[in-house]
Structure 1
Amino acid sequence: MRRFLPVVFLVLAALLLPCAAVAVWAEREIDDTGRFVATMAPLADDTDVQQAVATRLTTEVMRQVDLGPLQEGAGRMLGEAVRSFTGTDAYRKAWNTVSRVTHDAFRDALTAPRGSGDAVTLDLAPVTEELKARLTADKVPLAGQLPVVHTDIELVRTESLDEWRGAYERLGAAARWLPWAVAALVVAAVVLAVRGRRLHTVALAGLAVLVGALLLALLLAVAHNLALSDLPDDLSRPAAEALYAAFTASLRTVAWVAGVVGLAVAVVAGGAGWLTGRRKRGTRSDHSPRERQRVDTGWSA
């Protein structure tokens, strides 16, 4: 029984490792607004995202006006002006502000008690107020006359919001104990290994971590396909790709680091076990047949 128990522990550790990584990632990304804003900030300089923002803003503005025969020309001029704006510091500040308030809106919706509604809403007043202050400080003409009004924009409406809240609660709880459980399973497997097979178990532990990293990478690939397989026609796929890549960058880093560390541990421990076994076999060949029976075989700690 003791011979197979470490294997069972390592299989469980491999299966739980991607779950632990996702739980910790979700808790940090949702709870930490500063971390989320820092993650999204580089996208302000991404050309695909800038193009998508410029196109969407131009389209929405031109829908509100009717200039007759001048409509097309005005749209082109506005598009060029907006694309030029996306390369300025003011745009980067606005991007970070929108990222922050949007993140806060989703966090508040997920942490609200169940039954609090089925919509995620964004109040534009804080965004307008901050932009007004920054544009005024930058001495932009007429910036001080911008009105600050409380306008709620509905970001998401779904009957499953309570289910999202429940999933967030479970992820938050799992993030506090699941990583420790994975570490405990690996340590327990090594400690419970029978004498003479401890290095062998350490090598298997490295392989378990490697398998867990591969499972995490597979999970990210599946999530990528699900998230981007059915995009609306008016949403830029390159921009969506950039957003997804930035949002999951830390998870990909975890998968790479865990995979490299697991492979290194497996190779080093496996090599050490092989050398130890070979040395023992060489020592055993120098003994008499009666003495050979008393020499342990296999790997030793």
Structure 2
Amino acid sequence: GGRIWVESELGKGSTFHFIVQLGYIPDQERHTNPIALDDYRQALLFDTNRRQQVALRHQLAELQINTTPVTTFSQAIRKINTGQVCDLLVFDYDMMVETGMIVENLADDEQAAWLVALQQAINPLPPCLFLTNAQRGTIQLSFDPPILSVAVSKPVRRAMLRDAVRDLLNDHVPETESAVTAPRAESGTSEIPLSILLAEDNLVNQKVMLRLLGRLGYEPELAATGLEVLAALDRRPYDVVLMDVHMPDLDGLETTVRIRQTIEPERQPYIVAMTAGATIQDREACLSVGMDAYVSKPVRIEQLVEALDKAKRPSG
């Protein structure tokens, strides 16, 4: 039940009125449920806009995240060094551009010089949430080693913030990520399952790769050194080894040489090199020792799908 009416006055125009009955939603039911983190998390917020700071702190508090605002990296590092727990880093990307922390239109390594310094002080680096104006478009930042990061457009909506935080802190993949699930359907990953050994010593890189492989339906086993790779292959055969080229004890190249020399032909895995080197010489070095394929870091899911598809094809 409701009512609508109009009042008009010649030469002045019309005024429309309406009355509608709406139900009241209690405040505790108005927002979605908490994202069920194990416990309250701690975040550092890089933002010089006081009003935005207050709004973000309130929104993050609803998601069980306590926020400490900082305005400089030295301030953040001091807090970390004095025992401040940091599970999440939140950056106002536009503020960082305005203050010169990031210079757009430069190469990624020049853009990320600030992050390199932060990685040296906070290791491993927590997941990063970037806030940016929608007019700026998609921000392009790549890091080596890669970091877990999500960009959210301003003004920040609760649902978008919730999904971003859940993805970063709970390793949750939103159902709307059709761009990620599409390669899985096309490649037939579920039809021809592969046993995968992930050889990677960097904890952040491990987490990134586990997320990518998880999206494709795989649960790989981990090895952090070349010697661990050899021990794992001695225990059981694997269809694929995703081999970081730079590892302690034995690097990926020497580990591959030993695999090709010591493991019987029927147990030989398909070896995919993972390296930040992007030159022809890097690729040739990997293939010359017996690696089968090559992906560059940071690894994109399209590269991974292509490499695994090749591993499933019968040789010869």
TM-score, normalised by the number of residues in structure 2: 0.19
**Quick check: which one's strand share is greater?**
2
* Larger RCO (CA under 8 A, 6+ residues apart): 1
Larger radius of gyration: 1
TM-score by length of 1: 0.20
Identify, as 1 or 2, the structure richer in helix: 1
